[in-house]
Structure 1
């Protein structure tokens, strides 16, 4: 991983704070601790000014902001006609591109990342991957493995939210030494929902509000899942730094630990906290939340595409390394 670029000088009065925003996403169902399927978390990590500038960058004549506001170019007509896909028209969701290429276009085989493909959806997906993998200021990070590895061997248990939190905490602790002096990391895993019989709901021992008709899922803010994820993430972050020795001492006072690292499951809670230390970061989270999540989806999809290619009929051949600021760890690498 190369040292991150210095924050642009026009970042405002809060630029003296070495603040990093992390936005996360996951892949895999996290249900079966014996599953051999691909599971993991991916995230983007960058300074607020870098993310603001990145959204304004142009890729093939369109800003990244406009790309994150719409499906992968070429998918629109298919999504309009496909049952239950209307909600996908307002976001850049890589999964829909894979489904289209596999089921509609019947594409198979291996395609190099640098290829120019005649199928517009594939061409635009490859372009988006190249842009993110080559970005000098955005770190694309992740941890991946089978269900057995992430829920069993990594000793995170069957509670899906605790598993996610543990993986996020480990990856952020591993890169913290590369973020300059006195970094402050603010993590936004985002809103989640889960089945009403999930482990975190049973463990919570609390009344779960009634579900809407036709659904079996409830938001994790109402099931105790949010607290479970954040507690596991913060615990793993500090445990990992402690294991590195005296070079990265853990603050004794809880408030000092919160300054160095804090996670939020709610946009407004994060933005309100950021107002006290980095106004540009607060404005970014409030105004660009959905686009940041879509960038995190792109990073998580980049991890799945580059690390799980052997299982796919449709594969992308990536260079090694994928990019200077791209690091996807296998669970076996980070268990020790």
Structure 2
């Protein structure tokens, strides 16, 4: 039996990309970890095996779904903290199944909140929100094309999007995540829970099995490694800021370790202006890594696609002293090395499988 000093940290969605990296960092520093994951996403089972191979009994993997209230209660009850990342993460899937998207993202989050409120109210909750709660943010009239990217016309956005930006949910995914985001904040105000909301931009790095719908940096690199062809939705000049997973994990752990400064707060989490890149610029940067030009074509914009989004990270810097450390160039090198080892020709020769 674990003593109170050794009560575990619960990571929901802990076999996903961000979740497994957080679980790894927690276990690495000596925390016991419970991972709750339904193992439905591509790569989740492989990430589960990776965590167990690295940390053994320090990580307990519970296969289950946050839509199951009794299971959620059983895992939340003994946790010293909850990092809630379990979610439906693709805009396209939310369009195909809005009800399922709502049940996972909104109802599932309320299940977690209620389990904490009723059975473990002293446990902090850190919630993975998204920049999609700000909607499309800039319409075509508010951006200008400069070289290979869009830039905002409004000078107030020069340092990126702050937490003061009005919410404007767009797409079922934006609505479900935005609903959960607001519930997490309200449970802090009304019930006194210790909560932190992290509205994340593009997070990338090793152990990300990127797809066309989610994890676009890894998807671009993986497609290039496999000599495939990319589809760009829109015109390719749209801009995102990219944050390496090591920096993202440091922000999460900093918030967890400094709850007095972070509790009740909402933070935008991303790479900031210095790590911003357009889709076309990223494709140009990938070519030297793979040694060949990347093939791509175009398709229509998708609902809610933002022509420009860059995070203002000042609030995190002031509250927690956090700053991104990994440059986009170095981050891409680390991701390429992992993807090439996992999906490149050498891995195919070795028979690596998911």
TM beyond 0.5: no
RCO higher in structure (CA 8 A, sep ≥6) = 1
> What is the TM-score when the length of structure 1 is the normalising length?
0.31
